[in-house]
Amino acid sequence: MKLEFRDVSVGYGRTTVVHDISLTVPSGGAASLMGHNGAGKTTLLRAAVGLLVPRSGRVLLDDEDVTRLRPSQRVKRGLGYVPQGQQCFPQMTTRENLRLVADGRARGPELVKEVLDTFPALTGLLDRRAGLLSGGQRQQLAIARTLVTEPRLLILDEPTEGIQPNVVNEIEQVIARLADRGDLTVLLVEQHVGFALRATDTYHVIESGRITSSGDGGAHAIDSVRAAMAV
Ligand SMILES: Nc1ncnc2c1ncn2[C@@H]1O[C@H](COP(=O)(O)OP(=O)(O)OP(=O)(O)O)[C@@H](O)[C@H]1O
């Protein structure tokens, strides 16, 4: 599913945080969004998801203007969002967290099986409460829950933030595989520049709410990104 921001400005109250951003992630493509804390990355993602309404500009999914659609209507069209902070229901087990999303879907049980293939680490944790999982395990569960909705566009906000270094690699590999799938469009906000560039085919650097640098992903881009972020 193609995601497009056209001249999007968005903020909170009277403050505009993101200014006139235009950016397209083509169907099946994978883009990363990098920038310092407070640059406006999460704010832009919230406009894509429908949690914030832009003060000007438009958001399009597969060329449909969804700027005024609620998040649930965008989810029905194939948008999946994994917010910051490994969000799950802590009192519920891993299985219950997955079932909550799967129940009511014709392919529910099959989908749960599929995501457990993607995240084998969760298989042994099905009866454990999500609140007792490690940060890395909870992040895998958060991504798995979103995948159960069969998104065609996956938006991930700093999935490796606050995760122990030894588990970061595991999460990175899963995201790289998802970005590689071809039938899933990925927009990734990530602080680990090396990983973001390996996992995605284009990058955008955002500073003070404006895109200051864009280019093709891949390891060769690391110096350009670091230079853009050092400004
Ligand atoms: N709910 C809010 N109300 C008011 N201002 C906010 C709100 N959320 C974020 N901001 C402000 O908007 C600006 C951009 O924040 P945003 O969270 O989009 O940045 P970010 O690039 O995602 O940074 P981080 O890496 O810290 O998540 C910051 O100045 C922040 O203080």
Query: What digits encode the pLDDT tens for the residues 69-97?
Result: 999 999 999 999 999 988 899 999 999 99
**pLDDT, tens only, 113-123:** 999 999 999 99
The pTM (predicted TM-score) of the whole model is 0.94
Q: Quick check: ipTM above 0.90? A: yes
Q: Whose CA is nearest to atom 3 of ligand 1?
A: 12
Task: Give the distance (Å) from ligand 1 centre to CA of residue 101.
Answer: 28
Average pLDDT for residues 89-113, to the nearest whole number? 93
Report CA-CA distances (Å) from 69 to 2, 16, 37, 49, 114.
16, 21, 28, 9, 30
Task: Give the distance (Å) from ligand 1 centre to CA of residue 44.
Answer: 10
Task: Give the distance (Å) from ligand 1 centre to CA of residue 17.
Answer: 8
- List, chain by chain if needed, residues with CB within 6 Å of any ligand 1 atom: 12, 17, 35, 37-43
Has residue 227 got a pLDDT over 90? no
Q: Whose CA is nearest to atom 25 of ligand 1?
A: 37
Order of strands, sheet of 64-65, starting from the edge strand that comes earlier in the sequence: 15-25, 3-12, 56-61, 64-65
